[in-house]
Amino acid sequence: MDTVSYPDKKVIEFIKNSFIPVRVRSDAQPLATDFSIKWTPTLVILDTEGKEHHRTVGFLSPEELIPVLMLGIAKVYFDLNAFKEALSRLEKILSDFPKSSSAPEAIYLKGVCLYKDTKNPKGLKEAYEQLQARYPESEWTKRAYPYRLL
């Protein structure tokens, strides 16, 4: 990713505005053990307390890296019960990167956020319907399958 993704101007700007990036060698102790780094590149999204919320392993193109990082930010907000903030990040993934590999999970998590924020199951059913229409073979469509009954 050093030669393709990280030098990309959009990636540089996104990371600069959204993260405090830290690079750790896979053999650097104790961090490699503490964060279970087994292969490179491994990207771990942490909150301000150092708690992990999202992880990805392997090469990502610039077009995939930004939505993966956005999904990580959304998951931090989701885990902190800040559903409106999570929803705004998820909607940005879906509007700006609808063909990314992060989009199906973003739809799923958007439905869950809507439900947790409003207690209305409508968002869950809509998430399943969108997943079924756009990504019928996705693992996220399969996970949302029970929501079709709502």
User: Quick one: pLDDT at residue 2?
Assistant: 84
Place of tokens 């990636």: 11
Count the helices and strands in the chain (H runs, E runs): 7, 2
Residue 144 inside a domain? The answer is yes
**Dist CA 102 CA 117 (whole Å):** 22
Confidence of residue 3 (pLDDT cuts 50, 70, 90): confident
Residue-wise pLDDT for 66-124, tens only, equals 999 999 999 999 999 999 999 999 999 999 999 999 999 999 999 999 999 999 999 99
- Adjacent-strand bridge partners of 43: 56
User: Quick one: pLDDT at residue 12?
Assistant: 96
How many domains is the chain partitioned into structurally? 1
Residue 1 inside a domain? The answer is no
CATH number of the domain to which 60 belongs: 1.25.40.10
CA distances from 18 to 13, 15, 75, 109, 124 (A): 8, 5, 14, 20, 29
Confidence of residue 1 (pLDDT cuts 50, 70, 90): confident
Range of the domain at 131: 9-149
- The neighbour count for residue 5, using CB atoms within 10 Å, is 19
State the amino acid at position 2 in one-letter form.
D
Contact by Cβ (8 Å): 23, 41: no
Q: Is the confidence at residue 57, as pLDDT, over 90?
A: yes
Residue 75 inside a domain? The answer is yes
Segment among 27-36, 93-102, 126-135 with least mean pLDDT: 27-36
Residue 106 inside a domain? The answer is yes
pTM: 0.92
Residue 93 inside a domain? The answer is yes
Residue 4 inside a domain? The answer is no
Q: What is the DSSP string of 100-141?
A: STTHHHHHHHHHHHHHHHH--THHHHHHHHHHHHH-TTSHHH
Residue 60 inside a domain? The answer is yes
Residue 3 inside a domain? The answer is no
